[in-house]
Amino acid sequence: MADRGAELQANLAAVHERIATACGDAVRDPAEITLVAITKFFPASDIVHLVDLGVRHVGENKDQEAGAKVAELPAEVRELLTVHFVGQLQSNKAAHVARYADVVQSVDRTKIVKALDRGTGTALGEGGRHTPLEVTIQVDLGEGADAGRGGAAPADVPALADAVAATEHLRLRGVMAVAPLGVDEDGTAAAFQRFADLSARLRADHPDATWISAGMSGDLETAVTHGATHLRVGTGILGTRR
Ligand SMILES: *Cc1c(COP(=O)(O)O)cnc(C)c1O
């Protein structure tokens, strides 16, 4: 599909334009923002196109799909990429994720922290990876009835962060969240502001935990306004699932 490269190029340019405009409005430097292309549902060949177009961060949300796709990438493509895992994670899958992911953004309970640390230790020992696993804690920004898009309750974040910091092989980099379901733009803005405040409190104890992963195709401008450092954009770049 010769046209797929052109399609991805146009979509990517439009997303970069939106980020630039949002940064202009928020008086922020676009260089502070890392764009993570969420490639779930799309083939490894799309990742190859994206790397050609300068993308260096991709994200996946299902272990089986992600592992197979990363394995399919040519070595010279893989080595240019940082692979983020952003999906809900079961502890029995953690060791496998630790073999191919550079970052796990969706850490939301102690059991996962332990499983990822063990899995990363094993992968390092076997030469399957060479760096610590970078992690962010996923925070549930839903209030009351609409909670449940995954993530730890805000009150549980400090203890979880301490648990990550105490591991041998994991490196705490910050926090991740998805906007709550069923709220309007003001509700999303309020949630992202609470999230930025939570991040500031976390950094008082963990100064390296600087990443604020918030914002997807539909709300990336709001996320930029409220301090996001990482945007996870799927449909805006890849298009809708076919
Ligand atoms: C799918 C997904 C995204 C991307 O969502 P889009 O609306 O397609 O941009 C971001 N974050 C997570 C955790 C996802 O699962």
Q: Is the CB of 86 under 6 A from ligand 1?
A: yes
Q: Count of CB atoms within 10 A of residue 166's CB?
A: 11
pLDDT at residue 144 in the model: 60
pLDDT at residue 147 in the model: 55
Ligand 1, residue 238: give the atom nearest the CA. Answer: 8
Average pLDDT over residues 178-199: 95
**CATH number where 129 lies:** 3.20.20.10
- What are the CA-CA distances from residue 21 to residues 85, 136, 159, 232 (Å)? 28, 27, 37, 17
pLDDT tens per residue, range 115-164: 999 999 999 999 989 999 999 999 999 876 555 568 999 999 999 999 99
Measure the CA–CA gap between 133 and 100, rounded to whole angstroms. Answer: 10
Within a domain: 39: yes
> What does the buried/exposed string (b/e) look like for 70-85 if buried means 16 or more CB atoms within 10 Å of the residue's CB?
beebeeebbeebebbb
Which band of pLDDT confidence, cut at 50, 70 and 90, is reported for residue 192? Answer: very high
Angle between helices 91-100 and 110-125 (to 10 degrees): 40
Q: From ligand 1's centre to the CA of 214, what distance in Å?
A: 10
Taking CA atoms only, the protein residue closest to ligand 1 atom 12 is: 86
Within a domain: 242: no
- Judge whether 114 and 82 are in contact, CB under 8 Å: no
Measure the CA–CA gap between 215 and 205, rounded to whole angstroms. Answer: 25
Which band of pLDDT confidence, cut at 50, 70 and 90, is reported for residue 182? Answer: confident
Q: What's the domain range around 191?
A: 2-236
Q: Is the CB of 105 under 6 A from ligand 1?
A: no
Average pLDDT over residues 31-60: 98
Q: Is the CB of 67 under 6 A from ligand 1?
A: no
pLDDT at residue 148 in the model: 59
pLDDT at residue 220 greater than cutoff 80: yes
Q: Is the CB of 217 under 6 A from ligand 1?
A: yes
DSSP secondary structure letters along 11-35: HHHHHHHHHHHHHHHHT--GGG-EE
Within a domain: 140: yes
Within a domain: 18: yes
Mean pLDDT over each residue of the chain, to the nearest integer? 95
pLDDT tens per residue, range 50-101: 999 999 999 999 999 999 999 999 999 999 999 999 999 999 999 999 999 9
- Judge whether 18 and 219 are in contact, CB under 8 Å: no
In the chain, the number of structural domains is: 1
Within a domain: 149: yes
pLDDT at residue 2 in the model: 64
Average pLDDT over residues 223-228: 98
Q: Is residue 131 packed enough to be buried (19+ CB in 10 Å), middle (13-18) or exposed (0-12)?
A: exposed
Q: From ligand 1's centre to the CA of 58, what distance in Å?
A: 11
Taking CA atoms only, the protein residue closest to ligand 1 atom 5 is: 234
Within a domain: 201: yes
pLDDT at residue 146 in the model: 54
pTM of the model: 0.96
Measure the CA–CA gap between 34 and 116, rounded to whole angstroms. Answer: 24
Which band of pLDDT confidence, cut at 50, 70 and 90, is reported for residue 24? Answer: very high
Within a domain: 165: yes
